[in-house]
Amino acid sequence: MRDFIQELKKFFRKGDMLLLMLCLATSAFGTLIIASVTNAPKFGSSTRYIAVQIGATLIGVVFYAIMSSIDTDVFSEHRRTLMIISALLLLALVPFGTDNNTGNKSWIEIPIIHINIQPAEICKILYILITASIMASHQNRASAPLSVLHVTTYLVVFFMGNWLISSDLGVSLIFGGIFFGMVVAGGINWGWILAGLGLLATGGPFVLYNFFSEEQRNRILYVFMPEVIDPEGLDEGWHTTQSLKSLTGGGFSGQGLFNGNRTQSGSLFAQHTDYIFSSIGEELGFVGCMLVVGLLLLIIIRCIWVGVHSKDYMRRLVCFGAASAMIFQVFCNVGMCLGVTPVIGLTLPFFSYGGSSIVTTYAMLGLVSGVHARPSPRSHERYIRPPFYY
């Protein structure tokens, strides 16, 4: 505890202030967007949405500082504890889970203060740490069959655990995106990676037609054959069609904040969460969309830069895991608004409304700040337990 307090005091001197400033600038822009898209009559007053967004950002900064002040080796030494916490968080959805009007039982409402949290968002951070620790324990034989089996088993546990309990395929897929980025960065032989992709390609149709409902299956297939699934764009393609109308309605410079025709009339589905990028396109045009993508890209590049400049294998993987989570989520959300990826309900980091998403994103990037502060292990200062396997 004394070491943690000392590290917390050093946060402003050793933490990644550049990454934090990028996050705050993006959050400020995101809050302005939230103020505009929730100005529509169907939202009532936008004040509550703005307050939640700002409050979540402030809490997120606190968690950014806390996570930045904890040595990554501490997480590695308590891998089993992290796994137990993950299991408890996901299992809590069984008795306490609610759909929060999303159709997926992936939220837990905290009574009295009426705040909803999404356990999978927290598990996303824990999964990065657990996977980095596992891969570090196999560092010298990363591509050995048992090593690959070990790290893949944890992916299956997190992916299937969240999907079976919450039915939230979108968030479950983030674990897969993190896994892919980390195994590539970790130097796993490309033979294994290509074999895994081949298995997904061949087994995907079987899973799609045996474990998905017809509605879920059609939402995925619509991207690849819209003229077959929904030629009129009135069923599975309805949200995509409306999204594209808003996204392209702003042209190059947009109709202006608080002036988007469809956004201010509230006719766009989930315009403050899943489809906020389409609202940005309508009100700020191509310029605004590129600014959003540019800010998020700078954050991702910073995560990769910190990872590349770390000499420690596990720390480097933590940074690439955070970057992979951001890349996957941005790609899926923007692609969904453009109609090139399936509608799987992933929000746009820092921009979509939602307190738990903002707080956990700041906490995840706090891990990167911690690597920036301590790019190499400090084994001369404290005892580090040898790697263990389970």
- Please tell me the predicted confidence (pLDDT) of residue 5: 72
Are 179 and 128 within 8 A, CB to CB? no
Most confident of 56-60, 166-170, 263-267, 345-349: 56-60
Is there a domain that residue 260 lies in?
A: yes
Sheet with 115-117: list strands edge to edge.
Answer: 97-98, 107-110, 115-117
Question: What domain count does the chain have?
Answer: 1
Pairwise CA distance, residues 293 & 170, whole Å: 20
Q: How many CA atoms lie less than 13 Å away from 346 in the CB half-sphere?
A: 29
Average pLDDT, the chain: 88
Share of the chain above pLDDT 70, in %: 93
Question: How many Cβ atoms are within 10 Å of 28's Cβ, its own excluded?
Answer: 14
When pLDDT is averaged across residues 50-67 and rounded to a whole number, the result is: 94
Left if phi > 0, otherwise alpha if psi is -120 to 50, otherwise beta: which for 225? beta
Establish if 20 belongs to a structural domain. yes
**Distance (Å, whole) CA 84 – CA 88:** 6
Quick one: pLDDT at residue 385?
Answer: 46
> Is position 152 within any domain?
yes
Is residue 162 included in any domain, yes or no?
A: yes
Q: Which positions ≥6 away from 270 have C-beta within 8 Å?
A: 276
User: pLDDT value at position 114?
Assistant: 66
| Residue 317 within any structural domain of the chain | yes
Is residue 310 included in any domain, yes or no? yes
- How far, in Å, CA of 314 to CA of 321, rounded? 10
pLDDT of residue 293: 96
Q: Is the pLDDT of residue 388 over 60?
A: no
Q: Measured between alpha carbons, how far is 242 from 250 in angstroms, rounded to an integer?
A: 13
Whether 104 has a pLDDT exceeding 80, the answer reads no
- For residue 380, pLDDT beyond 50: no
CA distance 359 to 60: 4
In a domain, residue 11? The reply is: yes
In this predicted model, what pLDDT tens digit does every residue of 302-350 receive, in sequence order?
999 999 999 899 999 999 999 999 999 999 999 999 988 888 878 899 9
**Domain around 346:** 2-373
DSSP string, 2-52: HHHHHHHHTHHHHS-HHHHHHHHHHHHHHHHHHHHHTTSGGG--SHHHHHH
pTM given for the model: 0.91
At residue 233, the pLDDT reads 73
Rounded to 5°, the CA angle 24-30-32 comes to 110
Residue 340 lies in a domain: yes
Q: Is the dihedral of CA 329, 334, 336, 339 positive or negative?
A: negative
Mapped onto helix, strand or coil, the DSSP state of residue 104 is: coil
C-beta pairs of 220-229 under 8 Å, 24+ apart in sequence: 220/342, 222/342, 223/339, 223/340, 223/341, 223/342
pLDDT digits (tens, 9 = 90+) for 225-260: 888 788 877 787 888 888 888 888 889 999 999 998
